[in-house]
Amino acid sequence: MIIKPMIRSNICINAHPIGCAKETLNQINYVRSQKAKRAIKSVSEGGKGPKTVLVLGCSTGYGLASRISAAFEYGADTIGVSFEKEPTVNKGGTPGWYNNMEFDKEAKAAGLKAVTLNADAFSDECRASVIEEVKKLNSKFDLIIYSLASPVRTDPDTKVLYRSVIKPVGKEYSGAALDMMTGKISFSSAAPAEGDDIPNTVKVMGGEDWERWIKQLSEAGVLAEGCRTVAYSYIGPELSHAIYRDGTIGTAKKDLEARARNIDASLKKIGGAAYVSVNKGLVTRSSAVIPIISLYLGVLFKIMKANGTHEGCIEQMERLFAERLYTGQDNAAGTVPVDSENRIRIDDWELDPKVQAEVDKIMPTVTEENVAQTTDLAGLKHDFLTINGFDVDGVDYNKEVTDMSKIEY
């Protein structure tokens, strides 16, 4: 069959196996090139970087990029967890399924140990499986990446299913929304949170599950001396705070930051630490439907690309590892620069005052007539499609795919 992107309500609902694999390989090759440029020693070469890494939410975005950085720049063995839809011969799986397949293949070829679990990372059963797998490796985790982004979570104790929402708090929020595929601009509104929207979103996107992971791993004795853990967050510009930082999602992220302090205190007993890394805004499945975000990203990307400071997931995570986490001798865990709230700021180039001043100047001038000139519309569209394996260089999208369960170049 010939696979073309199927887009419904600004969401791509299918994936291209070869495109996903090729884009994962592109990220791996980027990290390999950075390893050479930075002269980083892998563990097998005498480096002291991460040796055994757990990545929760390993299949896409920042989680996948983190796993690639740990494995292919530092030579770490990795255990990854994600919850993906498995393909059949005639029916496609989720993008993360194919990304994981390619990662596993490349890791094996590189002589790296990689265990990928397709499981609900919110469950205690998954935690037990991870503990079993790391014991099989006869190792302990020295780095744990928490990069889960799910709209739902079942509480392991009560078995109650909670759903998160993206809503403002207190009053309605309205803003311009840019359709990344067509360049059309519309104005949309989001009703304020009501009922249990806020506590439910905190239950799903806050730090409760992260804290539970660290507690159970610690009790199982699978945390190495000096173990660090990092969870990911986003703050963004003032113009998006009402819908994001000060909205339901932002409230959950503030809970994440508060729990990071609890985790940090517990890990200090073994010489470890916990951090929240505030990352750059990027195109995600939700970006296209949140008012103002897609338009902001279009303007931001154009400015940052002109400045030579634009980064995608892999560039962000490679810089996080090399310039924040592992800055000691022979890539040992170094002193981590943090802000006043003990957060790592890898969004520093995005929130540079000069960049934001330029964003503020351009945003009010964008119209449907000039959107291709005032924003990076082509870049947004490319990123949107690439998430699902489309618009990837070197892939023949007119070639028949005979088996959706395989990656056949």
**297 is an annotated ligand-binding site residue:** no
Give SS3 for 6: coil
**296 is an annotated ligand-binding site residue:** no
How many whole angstroms separate alpha carbon 233 and alpha carbon 280? Answer: 9
Residue type, 272: G
The residue whose two tokens read 């022979």 is 330
How many whole angstroms separate alpha carbon 200 and alpha carbon 142? Answer: 31
**371 is an annotated ligand-binding site residue:** no
**282 is an annotated ligand-binding site residue:** yes
Mode of pairing for the β-strands spanning 152-154 and 161-163? antiparallel
Angle between helix axes 293-307 and 353-362 (nearest 10 degrees) is 120
244 is catalytic: yes
**397 is an annotated ligand-binding site residue:** no
**120 is an annotated ligand-binding site residue:** yes
Catalytic residue chosen out of the listed positions 162, 244, 296, 326: 244
**59 is an annotated ligand-binding site residue:** yes
**197 is an annotated ligand-binding site residue:** no
**121 is an annotated ligand-binding site residue:** yes
Burial of 285 (0-12, 13-18, 19+ CB in 10 A): middle
Burial of 338 (0-12, 13-18, 19+ CB in 10 A): middle
**111 is an annotated ligand-binding site residue:** no
Q: What angle do CA 33, 350, 61 make, to 5 degrees?
A: 55
**355 is an annotated ligand-binding site residue:** no
Integer-rounded Cα radius of gyration of the chain: 21
**57 is an annotated ligand-binding site residue:** yes
DSSP 48: -
Neighbours of 43 (CB within 10 A): 17
**84 is an annotated ligand-binding site residue:** yes
CB 248 within 8 A of CB 173: no
How many whole angstroms separate alpha carbon 81 and alpha carbon 100? Answer: 10
Residue stretches of the annotated binding site for substrate: 234
Residue stretches of the annotated binding site: 57-62, 83-84, 120-121, 148-149, 234, 253, 282-284
Residue stretches of the annotated binding site for NAD(+): 57-62, 83-84, 120-121, 148-149, 253, 282-284
Provide the annotated active-site residues: 244
